[in-house]
Amino acid sequence: EAGVAQSPRYKIIEKRQSVAFWCNPISGHATLYWYQQILGQGPKLLIQFQNNGVVDDSQLPKDRFSAERLKGVDSTLKIQPAKLEDSAVYLCASTGQGSNEQFFGPGTRLTVL
Amino acid sequence: GEDVEQSLFLSVREGDSSVINCTYTDSSSTYLYWYKQEPGAGLQLLTYIFSNMDMKQDQRLTVLLNKKDKHLSLRIADTQTGDSAIYFCAESPTNDYKLSFGAGTTVTVRA
């Protein structure tokens, strides 16, 4: 079974630029999560989707971050415009229906200069 | 602030046992997890325990839960060099499974 796929693996941008990350969850997994992991910290949840609907986006900085999962499968996370403090690893995870086990992708490491 | 707290570093000799500690704050029914993160990789679920359990063993891994003190530990028996990684403690309520992570414990295994 293929795992959670993310791309790109690395991205370097300048502040005020825009960036987008892509996630393909495990096939059949209805729930998808985006986390932000700042260096030296644990991951923090940004947004949770159930199929194509948002379950929780309370921690998403909506003035600059947006996410969508239009067809209930792949998801994209966008930052526009980026700030220096957005430098982090962005992790995507997914779970099957009724399961508590989240499977994580390898992450996208973003550096904002 | 963090609801889950961990010590930041642990150094252990190869072949010895490692014990990683964590404290959590949620007093309701919850799942408690241990994840492993190797350099450049995502998080790998090692094991989890439900809050009404005291202990869970899985091969070299033993999880102990002290509900009174809200203290969770992970013991790795016969620690190997491949066990060098960052270990994250996390908790989630049983109704929505959203994870709250600690800051991670960096385990270094020395020969």
Peptide bond into A8 cis (omega under 30): yes
Q: By CA distance, what is B8's nearest residue in A?
A: A40
Chain A nearest CA to B52, separation (Å): 16
Backbone angles phi, psi at A85, to 5 degrees: -75, -5
Rounded distance, CA B31 to CA B53, Å? 10
Residue B97 has its nearest CB partner, among A91, A100, A106, at A100
Residue A102 has its nearest CB partner, among B2, B41, B99, at B99
The answer on pLDDT for B75 being more than 50 is yes
Residues of B in contact with A42 (CB under 8 A): 2, 4, 88, 90, 101-104
Q: Give the model confidence (pLDDT) of A67-109 as tens digits.
A: 999 888 999 999 999 999 999 999 999 999 888 889 999 999 9
Helix H segments across B15-89? none
Closest CA relative to residue A31, chosen from A5, A46, A50: A50
Rounded distance, CA B60 to CA B39, Å? 22
* Long-range contact pairs involving A55-63 (C-beta distance under 8 Å, separation at least 24): A55/A31, A55/B96, A56/B96, A56/B98
- Supply the DSSP symbol for B102: -
Residues of B in contact with A103 (CB under 8 A): 45
Q: Give the model confidence (pLDDT) of A14-55 as tens digits.
A: 999 999 999 999 999 999 999 999 999 999 999 999 998 999
Q: Do B101 and A40 touch (CB under 8 A)?
A: no
By three-state DSSP, how is residue A99 classified?
coil
Q: Give the model confidence (pLDDT) of B7-54 as tens digits.
A: 999 999 999 999 999 998 876 778 999 999 998 888 999 999 998 889
Asked if the C-beta of A1 comes within 8 angstroms of chain B's C-beta atoms, the answer is: no
